Amino acid sequence: MSDTHSMVAHQFDDALQQKEASTVGMWVFLVTEIMFFGGLLLAYFIYRTSYPHEFLIASHELNVTIGTINTCVLLTSSLTMALAVHAAQMGNRKGQVILLVVTMILGATFLVVKGFEYAEKFEHHLVPGSSFHFHSEATLQNPGAPEIFFSLYFALTGLHAFHMIIGLGLMTWLLVKAKRGRFSPQYYNPVEVGGLYWHFVDIVWIFLFPLLYLIDRSMLV
């Protein structure tokens, strides 16, 4: 069994104080991340209100099937991450390792699928820039609006993917510690805090998926 006292950093009086400080620290960090994503989402809502028809048409270029698959992948990864935290609380070392590995595989799967979706956008010239071409531009009142839509799409999903990569790095660190038996029922806070970050990234996608892929589809006649 791990020596709980040896896990306490020198600046803390005891393990409880360290646990509370790290948990509060993660929540503060997540609040700043919410504000970060919130700015981009606000820009999305402003432009969507300004160009509702153009955003409606542009959103139909997104692959709902791929988006749905990735949503299922991330929801499953949230479950495996929660189970990994539970395994750490129960002192189940083997369970921790297996569930962290599965979580990482699911996270990597999300990024691979997203890579295929990005490749599809490059192939269809839907990446903002000099080569951007939207097939319905001539029929739109504001032909530049679809490029704004895809700029926001890549900004939001790209930033989310970057957070996923950071999450995989965090999972790798936790996996190494779990294999060494560093976590126990007396000391599992790093897994719990890592889980908070992973769930945050998953929740962000739960907002992005309907906003980018679904919200306008029922409106197109």
Question: Model confidence over 13-34: pLDDT tens digits?
Answer: 455 666 666 678 778 888 988 8
3-class DSSP state of 142: coil
CA distance 92 to 181: 10
Per-residue pLDDT, 26: 78
Per-residue pLDDT, 19: 65
Checking if the pLDDT of 136 tops 80, the result is no
Per-residue pLDDT, 221: 44
Which of 20-34, 61-75, 86-100, 198-212 is the least confident region? 20-34
Structure confidence at residue 11 as a pLDDT band (50, 70, 90): low
Specify the higher pLDDT residue, 174 or 25: 174
Per-residue pLDDT, 185: 86
Residue 132, both tokens: 């951007």
DSSP secondary structure letter of residue 40: H
Per-residue pLDDT, 1: 41
Per-residue pLDDT, 152: 96
Report the pLDDT averaged over residues 85-108: 95
Question: Model confidence over 103-135: pLDDT tens digits?
Answer: 999 999 999 999 999 999 999 899 998 888 888
Checking if the pLDDT of 189 tops 90, the result is no
Query: How far are the Cα atoms of 77, 79, 119, 134, 199 from residue 72, in angstroms, in the given order?
Result: 9, 11, 21, 29, 14
Residue 173 CB neighbour total at 10 angstroms: 12
Full-model pTM: 0.86
Taking a C-beta distance cutoff of 8 angstroms, is the pair 197, 28 a contact?
A: no
Per-residue pLDDT, 182: 86
* Domains of the chain by start residue, with CATH: 14-219 (1.20.120.80)
What are the φ/ψ torsions at residue 129 (nearest 5 degrees)?
145, -165
Per-residue pLDDT, 207: 92
What percent of the chain lies above the pLDDT cut of 90?
60
pLDDT averaged over the chain? 87
